[in-house]
């Protein structure tokens, strides 16, 4: 009964290859995210989808293409892998943000275990 799962956990590949990372959440959340954690452990948002619609694209190279076949899945496809793509990629999800008087509340994000990508 894993909440947010990612496959594979480890991915080792050669430069120039194309690879995909899959993410699934069984929490019934509407919004899903991809984050990249670099070698210095710095976490940065890459993409966000809400109900299969792209809502955040943080100046990520277009070699990275997220795909959301349904709101429970957000996959990340990477073309022409480069050395600098080596990192840990985290998927996350969050429930719908509810409105409150004076502003919206902000739901926390639930993270998957991460996929460690190594490009040789």
Are 119 and 19 in contact, with CB atoms under 8 Å apart?
A: no
Q: Which is nearer to another protein, 3 or 15 (CB)?
A: 3
Among 22, 86, 110, 118, the residue binding another protein under the rule CB under 8 A is 110
Tell me whether residue 84 or residue 103 sits nearer to another protein (CB atom): 103
List, in sequence order, the alpha helices (H) in 4-113.
none
Interface residue with another protein, options 13, 64, 111, 118 (CB under 8 A): 111
Among 1, 14, 39, 42, binds another protein (CB under 8 A): 42
Pick 9 or 63: Cβ nearer another protein = 9
Closest CA to 29 of 7, 51, 45, 47: 51
**Angle of CA points 11, 94, 113, to nearest 5°:** 25
Check binding of 94 to another protein (CB under 8 A).
Answer: yes
DSSP state, 93? E
């Amino acid at each position: 009964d894993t909440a947010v799962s990612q496959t594979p956990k480890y991915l080792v590949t050669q430069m120039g290859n194309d690879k995909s990372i899959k993410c699934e959440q069984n929490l019934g959340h509407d919004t899903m995210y991809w984050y990249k954690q670099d070698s210095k452990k710095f976490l940065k948002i890459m993409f966000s989808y809400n109900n299969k619609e792209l809502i955040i694209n943080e100046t990520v190279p277009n070699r990275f293409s997220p795909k959301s076949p349904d709101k429970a899945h957000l996959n990340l496809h990477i073309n022409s892998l480069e050395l600098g793509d080596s990192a840990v990629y985290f998927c996350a999800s969050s429930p719908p943000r509810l409105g409150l008087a004076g502003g919206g509340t902000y739901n926390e994000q639930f993270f998957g275990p991460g996929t460690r990508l190594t490009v040789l």
